[in-house]
Amino acid sequence: MIGVLQFPGSNCDLDVIHALRDVLKADAKLVFFKEQDLSGLDGLVVPGGFSYGDHLRAGAVAAKMPVLDNVREFAAEGKPVLGICNGFQILCESGLLPGALTKNTSLKFICKWVEMEVCNDTSAFTMEYEKGQTVRMPIAHGEGRYFCDEKTLAQLKKNGQICFRYKGENPNGALDNIAGICNEEGNVLGLMPHPERCSEKILGGEDGRKMFECMLGYIKSR
Amino acid sequence: MDVEITVKLKKGLLNPEARTIGRSLNLLGYKNVSDVDTKKVFFMKIDASSKDVAKKQADEMCRRLLTNPVIEDYEIVTK
C-alpha cells in the first residue's frame, strides 16, 4: 500500500492516486497529515500543491508538522519516499533531503514541459531508467530553483545523488541544472517536475510512469 | 517584550526580487541606483522575564521555523 500524504493546500494528491491506482494498478490511499500513523504503508508520496498557501517559504510550514517525524522514521527504515514539486520543497525544508528551493530567477510561475537528463539509475525511483536517457515531464512552480552550498553540491555529485538535470534550457535557474535529487541511500527522492502528470499517453507523455514502476519494483524487492 | 527578527538571504545568493526592483528603478530613470536588496522582518511580542529569555526563544523560533539555514541569515533585536 502506498500512501499519498495530504496537507491543507496539496492539490496533486488525487492525480498521484489516479496514476497509482488506475494506471499502475497499485494499492494507494490518501493519508491526511493529522493521521500520523504510517505503519502499514510500503511507500509514501508527498504530492505537489501549495501546502499552507506557500506562506513563509514553500513547504516550510508542512515540513514542521509532527507527521514529518514519522516520515523521517519511515525513510530511515529504507521505505521509499517520493516528493513531487511542493513535496520536494517539503522534503528539503524538513531536512530529509539537502538544499533548498528558492524563487525562480525569472520570478514567474512556470508551467511547461521540460527535458531532463537521467543522471542516476540506482535509486528506488530511477533504477529502471537509463543513465544519460532524456525524459520529458511537465513542471509547474514558482519556487523551484534548487540551491545548496558548495560542500553539499560536491557531496551530491560524489555520491551520485543528482538524479535529474534540466537539459537544453534551465527553466528556473537551478544550481547545476538540478531538477531532482535523492538521499545517500537512494530511497528518498525529490524532484520539481510532475511524473504523475505524464504517466499515460492521454496526458501527452509517459516518461513519469516508470518512476512509479521503479517505486513498486523497489517495494517488491525489499 | 517587542521583538524584531530580520531575515536576509545569505551573502552572494541571488535575490531575483531585489534585482528586478533595482532594474525597474533604473528604468524609471534612477540611473544612480545599484545594489538593491530586500529583507523580511517579523514583528512580535514575547511575554518573557527578560530580554535574554525572549531573545533565546526567538532564536529557537528562527531555527525551528522562521528561517531556512541553507539560504538565510537572521538578526534578532529585543526592545
| pLDDT tens sequence across A192-221 | 999 999 999 999 999 999 999 999 999 999
Q: Confirm whether the ipTM is greater than 0.90.
A: no
Region A40-61: what's the mean pLDDT? 96
A100–B20 CB contact, under 8 Å: no
Counting the structural domains of chain A, the total is: 1
Instruction: Tell me the whole-structure pTM to 2 decimals.
Output: 0.95
C-alpha A86/C-alpha A50 separation (Å) is: 6
Measured in angstroms, the CA of A202 and the nearest CA of chain B are apart by 36
C-alpha B46/C-alpha A128 separation (Å) is: 53
Q: Domain coordinates of chain B in residue numbers? A: 2-78
For residue A19, what are the domain limits?
A: 2-221
* Total count of residues recorded for chain B: 79
A60–B17 CB contact, under 8 Å: no
**B2-78: CATH number:** 3.30.1280.10
Closest by Cβ to A100, choosing from B20, B66, B70: B70
B13 vs A contacts (CB less than 8 Å):
102, 147
A55 at the B interface (CB within 8 A)?
A: no
pLDDT at A36 over 90: no
In order, the DSSP letters of A149-198 are -HHHHHHHHHTT-EEEEE-S--SS--GGGEEEEE-TTSSEEEESS-GGGG
| pLDDT tens sequence across A138-171 | 999 999 999 999 999 999 999 999 999 999 999 9
CATH number at residue A122: 3.40.50.880
Region A42-65: what's the mean pLDDT? 96
Split at pLDDT 50, 70, 90, the class of A74 is very high
Q: What angle do CA A134, A140, A146 make, to 5 degrees?
A: 70
Residue A194 known to be catalytic: yes
Cβ-proximal residues to A94 (8 Å cutoff; 6+ apart), any chain = A63, A64, A68, A71, A72
Split at pLDDT 50, 70, 90, the class of B24 is very high
Measured in angstroms, the CA of B67 and the nearest CA of chain A are apart by 9
